Structure 1
Amino acid sequence: MNIEQARFNMIEQQIRPWDVLDKGVLGLLAVVRREDFVPAAHRALAFVDTEVPLPEGENMLPPRVEARMLQDLQVQRHERVLEIGAGSGFMAALLGHRAQSVISLEVKPALAKLATENLRRSGAANVSVVQADGVHGYAAEGPFDAIMMSGSVSKVPEELLKQLKPGGRLVAIEGDEPVMSAVRYTANADGTWSRVSLFDLDATRLLGFPEPARFHF
Structure 2
Amino acid sequence: MDQKKRLLDGMRGRINESVLDAMSRVPRELFVPEQLRDRAYEDTPLPIGLGQTISAPHMVAIMSDLLDVRPGMKILEVGGGSGYHAAVLAALTGPQGRVYSVERMADLAAAARRNLRAAGIENVTVVEGDGSLGLPEHAPYDRISVAASAPKIPEPLKEQLQVGGKMVLPVGGGSQELILVTRKNGLLAEEKMGVIFVPLIGKEGFGERQI
TM-score, normalised by the number of residues in structure 2: 0.91
Q: CA-to-partner distance for each residue in 1:106-162, whole Å, 9 max, x for gaps?
A: 110110000001111112111110111111101111011111102222222122111
Specify the alignment match of 1:163 in structure 2: 160
Match in the other structure for 2:88: 94
Matched, 1:73 2:70: no
Asked if structure 2 preserves the Cα contact closer than 8 Å seen for 1:61 and 1:151, the reply is: no
Render the CA deviation track for 1:63-89: whole Å, top value 9, x for unaligned.
100101001011111210000011110
Percent identical among aligned pairs is 31
Q: Is the 8 A contact 2:45 2:54 kept in 1?
A: yes
1:78–1:114 distance in 2 versus 1, CA, 3 Å? same
CA distance in structure 2 between the aligned counterparts of 1:60 and 1:153, rounded to whole angstroms: 18
Q: Number of paired residues?
A: 203
Q: How does 1:98-117 map to 2 (within 5 A)?
A: 98-99=92-93, 100-117=97-114
The answer to whether 1:196 aligns with 2:193 is: no
Corresponding residue number in structure 2 for 1:7: 4
Greater helix content: 1
Q: Which of these two proteins has the greater Rg computed from alpha carbons? A: 1
Q: 1:128: which partner in 2?
A: 125
Give the C-alpha shift of residue 49 in structure 1: 2.2
One-letter identity of the residue aligned with 1:51: P
AA at the equivalent of 1:105:
V
- Normalising by structure 1, we get a TM-score of 0.88
User: Runs of at least 4 residues of structure 1 off by over 6 A?
Assistant: none
Cα distance in 2, alignment partners of residues 207 and 60 from structure 1: 17
Residues 23 and 45 of structure 1, relative CA distance in 2, 3 Å threshold:
same
Alignment RMSD:
1.6
Deviations 1:134-192 (A, max 9, x none): 11101111011111102222222122111011011110111222x22211101123xx2
- 1:24 equivalent to 2:18? Answer yes
SS of structure 2 residue aligned to 1:167: strand
Uncovered stretches (5+) of structure 2, i.e. residues with no partner: none
Structure 1: segments with no counterpart, 5+ residues:
213-217
Q: SS at the partner of 1:176?
A: coil
Displacement after TM superposition at 1:54 (Å): 1.0
* 8 Å CA contact retained: 2:22, 2:92: no
3-state SS of paired residue (2:115): helix
| Matched residue type, 1:149 | V
Could you say what secondary structure the match of 2:167 adopts?
A: strand
Deviation at 1:26, TM superposition (A): 1.0
